[in-house]
Structure 1
């Protein structure tokens, strides 16, 4: 793809430095230029139409042309385009949204703190955890544990929490006091013959061993996505969260639930914590909270988290943290309208129903010689590709099969994302069964095509 040929009016767009992209290869190949959206579809600048099987970046739950969200943003821009929440100031959209989120929480929550992205939310919570430990007179309690393959963002702190090598390499990460325990991926990490229940028992024991080795009085919090997203759509095995939470309770360690992908209906419940029977002290949310029409994120904390922080801010005289755009009135207004639409159209129940159909259709690929595992929950799924089903070995190098299938699938008019060799699927909540068929049939055809080319 030539950088000039695929740019609007042929203009040179080589000055745009892209995230999650090979910067050198990008200068040679250039980008796909997306021009407009239409429901679950996007159209590039050549007029080609694609089903967006990733909801953009796990995020556009209501599709790419929801007029009510555009109108909500416009009304707020006309009334109050910006104001902050520093020094005892606020505005109606932030007040109403905080109240709404607390009312939706699956476990008792007390307060909401607004940020602009999932990365900022996770970064902020780590600061809050440290602040709270100091408030409690436990200055040694600064270590936190997240998981290999977990994804929590890309700031210095949140990328440290992330358990993926390419988010650490050459960035001098992770920072001190951020530890990682095992990923709950039974397919890749279970021992031969180990059941899901036994695997969960072992991971819980490994977590407890890590806590004991570090010193229980030094560990403050445990981070986890209800279902891992960018690490490969890892669905926790049977009994996993029950056993993990028992360990955390034993040592009085906070549970932080990263709901950035799983929140607002993705798993067929309003929050992923409900689907996974989690009882978090802190919840972070972003992406679908505004269907990504505006950058926005929020943190919900319970009294166990909030009260010591409030006391410390009183001692110091201020909680010295906040963002210019945190709780932005336009973002808050769009979030309120997004939640209203989800509730009015019963999209959580629809996601559960459509998600069950999606998991059924994906399951039809299980016996394909190039499919190692099909996994998912609700409207979140992955198909992991292998060259050898028996050994789970990749083709030539990890990521090669995924890249080949992803390129073919894009040509067929479906946008997905290969996470190494796992093809991720996260269609908009508004997707119909017919949309799911377009997505799954396209993926099946691409897998067949690549398998045939390799076999030949």
Structure 2
């Protein structure tokens, strides 16, 4: 079965697989690329073609594909035990990884609750915050503040604290209501500002007004620190996260940081909150935690949050939540090997020249007549394509400009996945400067080909 030809593999995919975030009527008309191997920053298809992975396997890959050290860690672990539940038992890899995560997390986060993906990590944080106030004798604190343009996953609780109608609108009848605050978005600032710092200040002023009005009923605030990912790689102005932390403290609201996409070095520091010297009350992690190898997530909490759940058995203060594969030893072994590589490869120390190079290339791309905005934070960026550069009028959705650019890039040996008309730049952190050059050259050429205009 492993030696099937490309035609057969495509037929199986079209006939039996339902792809995420994909209009399957269109997919079934296409000839999909079938990936069978990976090597460093490259994906290799069933015909032997190589594609530079410009989105790190949807924002998960850290050290490149098929990294020997992680492969060996998983192979060694599978010969010991594949899975052992954390319901009534401990396991060595989950315990060791919890200690390692606490060691590198923002100071004060000291307890690790495992699950298996980013949506569940966020949903756990929401449930923890809700139950925390019940145990603290504040049962009226049941609501949550979320942000416009936010994305926290696709389970119902995670969708409830999201803010993207395209993804979430159809499910509105299933969701619990939240208090939505404006998120800074520069030239599309809800207050009309065209300058990031001013936009950030106006958003913070409105957030403070909402908190003052609703603090007595709010359990927590959920935020993607530094970058709103699926909202379009929207970068918050410097100091925004720090100011949100201060407002949460002032109004007695738990801060839940969703670092699913931005954690593990993506913004240039191990965690985005650390870049602003912030410790959230609860922090959700996934994606890069296993360097893209296996499903694993962790929700970290402070001692204060954890202690609210301690009590006598009869008090029913237990956190009644769990997952079958919580603390899976194979996934934890992969995560431990990844953390070892951060140290042995000195990965974070090697990021500054890559970040600087990416910044310079983005500034050049920004001059293109159909690029309305470029946004970057560390090794993550978004290139927003527009119809009119002067007015920032967005390209019509039905013209599928972002999709067309990514398809053109595929013909040039790059795999990209757009967010509407935003071209996402999210390569493995281990990519070389030469690979970054290939990536940015290809993106620039693809934009020029699709728009029919060379760069200015």
Please give the range of the TM-score, normalised by the shorter of the 2 chains. over 0.9
Matched, 1:167 2:167: yes
Contact 2:112 2:300 in 1 (8 A): yes
Residue in 1 that maps onto 2:220: 221
Alignment of 1:381-392 (within 5 A): 381-392=381-392
Deviation, structure 1 residue 386: 1.0
Normalising to structure 2: TM-score of the pair?
Answer: 0.93
Q: 303-312 or 134-143: which moved more?
A: 303-312
Alignment of 1:356-367 (within 5 A): 356-367=356-367
Matched, 1:83 2:84: yes
Q: 351-360 or 418-427: which moved more?
A: 351-360
Deviation, structure 1 residue 195: 3.6
Residue in 2 that maps onto 1:425: 425
Deviation, structure 1 residue 194: 5.1
Deviation, structure 1 residue 238: 3.5
Describe the shift of the 1:130–1:30 C-alpha distance in structure 2 as closer, same or farther (beyond 3 A): farther
**SS where residue 29 of structure 1 aligns?**
coil
Describe the shift of the 1:168–1:30 C-alpha distance in structure 2 as closer, same or farther (beyond 3 A): farther
Contact 1:399 1:419 in 2 (8 A): no
Contact 1:313 1:319 in 2 (8 A): no
> Per-residue displacement from partner, 1:198-230 (whole Å, max 9, x unpaired)?
2222111211222344x2110111111121111
User: Cα RMSD over matched residues?
Assistant: 2.1
Contact 2:109 2:279 in 1 (8 A): no
Q: 75-84 or 392-401: which moved more?
A: 392-401
**SS where residue 278 of structure 1 aligns?**
coil
**SS where residue 358 of structure 2 aligns?**
helix
Describe the shift of the 1:343–1:186 C-alpha distance in structure 2 as closer, same or farther (beyond 3 A): same
Contact 1:126 1:157 in 2 (8 A): yes
Q: Distance in 1 between matches of 2:279 and 2:399?
A: 35
> Unmatched 5+ residue regions in structure 2?
none
Deviation, structure 1 residue 410: 1.4
How many residues of Structure 1 are paired with residues of Structure 2 in the alignment? 450
Contact 1:241 1:277 in 2 (8 A): no
Q: Distance in 2 between matches of 1:10 and 1:184?
A: 42
Alignment of 1:308-323 (within 5 A): 308-311=308-311, 315-316=315-316, 318-323=318-323
Contact 2:282 2:300 in 1 (8 A): yes
**SS where residue 452 of structure 2 aligns?**
helix
Describe the shift of the 1:281–1:312 C-alpha distance in structure 2 as closer, same or farther (beyond 3 A): farther
Contact 1:38 1:65 in 2 (8 A): yes
Contact 2:185 2:199 in 1 (8 A): no
Q: 146-155 or 390-399: which moved more?
A: 390-399
> Unmatched 5+ residue regions in structure 1?
none
Residue in 2 that maps onto 1:42: 43
